[in-house]
Chain A
């Protein structure tokens, strides 16, 4: 276990019993939701989807997640440069892919450590094995690299979602669905790392944990 993890354990350990119990209850409620619902929420909160039918968002969320899961059979990308940072909890970041100056994946070790501890606290190890969050973060950013580098893949995602920007007789331009690539990346990460539940569930639980830490 790294020093950072130890620090974070101490941080979560500082939660009062009442706040910890409230966090457990909140996360149990999150776990009762089905995975697609988290996708719907992500899309609903993404600009350009104001006023969209929730059923349509659910269809898009499911299609994008499945599309991402289907990418696991593709050839592996070369290992990117990995940069480990702290300060993720403060900035509410778990990982980040940057394409310049050179493609790199930034992993926020404090957030990852908090995630691991949270999984233990909530008894979610069956869904998220030890070290799975870091691996999922790498896979998630791999998916962004795949989509970023491959125009045909991006086109295929648009076609899978079936949203139309412009139709003129038989001529049709498939519309970009903002947020779909993020869901595809989560779908890819879950499938690639064999997670029992969507990474979005753990993301929501982590957000609750950070709020609890801030309140306590």
Chain B
């Protein structure tokens, strides 16, 4: 039976890779198929309808809300000029030194990456940041990579990610926070190293171009808004300080960030309108990840059914390395399997595999956290099919594959660092 489940998973990966089905639909289909082959009843306890579809669909509710509020705050930061002002100030201070500008944009991207992820984060930092870097001579691929590495450096502090791992792996938020604090130095160090090495290795480029300046609706919007006041620029730090410093719960911390961004940029009579407008627009941004989290919840519910655990346990036990050194070597070598929506992508089948590893008792949940969070650092930057990578590459005028080749060595090292920490502390 375990073999059948593995074959179903491979078929699911095939459907996702060949884009025959969107990832979310493929995961739901896979979940129902797994539940059916392990003999789950249609209704009742541990059933397809009540357990997999009903309970699974809402299992990630807290994550979905955190993603929505993160998108809301991101939308607010874009609309009020907070994000564009941050980038503009960086360019004005460091402008004729490409490395300084790139480091500044990296820092702003990291700050934005703590609030929200995916393409909206890349857009917030990149709409102005990418052309600004190119204007001072940073090569295009380096510019796109800088935005992505920056967002990934902020990712260990992205509160919706904490919520996701906490719910998915059934771990307290404190435990997730503890590991993320250990992962952050690797993400930050290799992000800085990327900028330092790549700006030095690739030097500067200045082109006499015939291209007319691009018109972008967001930039037109920024034209109307002007600069945000300096104290509003602290908005991305508010949720972070509350959640990290004061150990406040994730959703209230993020709501406080939304309120801070609002009151520091908006006249009282316009507040209601802006708050509602940005909230409604945030639903558009948050829709794709929310659909994915519904599907991940359903898949997790299927792979943790007693029948599935029983079937997969011997197989997974046989292939999972137990020795810490082998654990690091094997999972480091498998890192590319999280690219191209591969089986180790934690926002896809990887979540199901994580569920199997925990429910079968192969590794402690916190070790699986280390594994999946480390892979997430790679996927978030170098996967040519992830929306932020596609957007940053295309906006820079290069291909997502060029960005992957340039950034992969650095994020692979980040993952290796995370795996070493995991093996050293949890195995």
A residues touching B (Cβ–Cβ < 8 Å)?
Answer: 41-42, 44-48, 50-51, 92-101, 111, 137, 140-141, 144, 147-148, 154, 157-158, 163, 165-166, 173, 175-179, 181-182, 185, 199, 203, 206-207, 210
Contacts and interface: CB of A to CB of B under 8 A. Distances in A.
Contacts of B209: 92-94
Interface string B212-225: 11100001101111
Contacts of A98: 203-205
Contacts of A173: 93
Contacts of A137: 208
Given A95-B208, A148-B204, A181-B206, 15 more contacts: A45-B214, A46-B131, A46-B135, A47-B91, A47-B131, A48-B132, A50-B220, A93-B207, A93-B209, A97-B205, A165-B93, A175-B92, A178-B132, A178-B135, A199-B208
A97 B209 CA distance: 11
A82 to B, nearest CB: 14
Report the 8 A-B pairs with minimum CB-CB distance, sorted nearest first.
Answer: A45-B213, A176-B95, A100-B203, A99-B203, A175-B92, A50-B223, A92-B210, A144-B206
B225 A51 contact: yes
Interface in B302-327: none
A204 to B, nearest CB: 8
Nearest to A99: B203
B201 interface: yes
A51 B203 contact: no
A114 B17 CA distance: 44
Interface string B96-133: 10000000000000000000000000000001110110
A47 B128 contact: yes
Given A94-B209, A98-B203, A165 B223 contact: no
A206 B210 contact: yes
B203 A178 contact: no
Given A45-B214, A50-B222, A51-B222, A181 B96 contact: yes
Contact of A99 (B92, B204, B227): B204
B71 to A, nearest CB: 23
Interface of B: 84, 87-89, 91-96, 127-129, 131-132, 135-137, 201-214, 219-220, 222-227
Contacts of A158: 96
A95 B135 contact: no
Nearest to B96: A154
Given A47-B132, A154-B96, A176-B95, A140 B208 contact: yes
Contact of A175 (B93, B212, B213): B93
A163 to B, nearest CB: 7
Mostly, the A contact residues are: mixed
6 contacts: A45-B214, A47-B219, A48-B91, A98-B203, A163-B92, A176-B136
B213 A46 contact: yes
Contacts of B94: 176
Contacts of A50: 84, 128, 219-220, 222-223
Given A165-B89, A207-B212, A177 B226 contact: no
Contacts of B89: 165
Contact of B208 (A99, A177, A203): A203
B93 A176 contact: yes
Nearest to A114: B210
A7 to B, nearest CB: 18
A140 B88 CA distance: 26
Given A51-B223, A165-B93, A182 B206 contact: yes
B128 A48 contact: yes
Given A41-B213, A92-B211, A100-B201, A178 B136 contact: yes
B306 to A, nearest CB: 56
Nearest to B90: A48
B266 to A, nearest CB: 17
A119 to B, nearest CB: 15
A18 B204 CA distance: 42
A105 B131 CA distance: 21
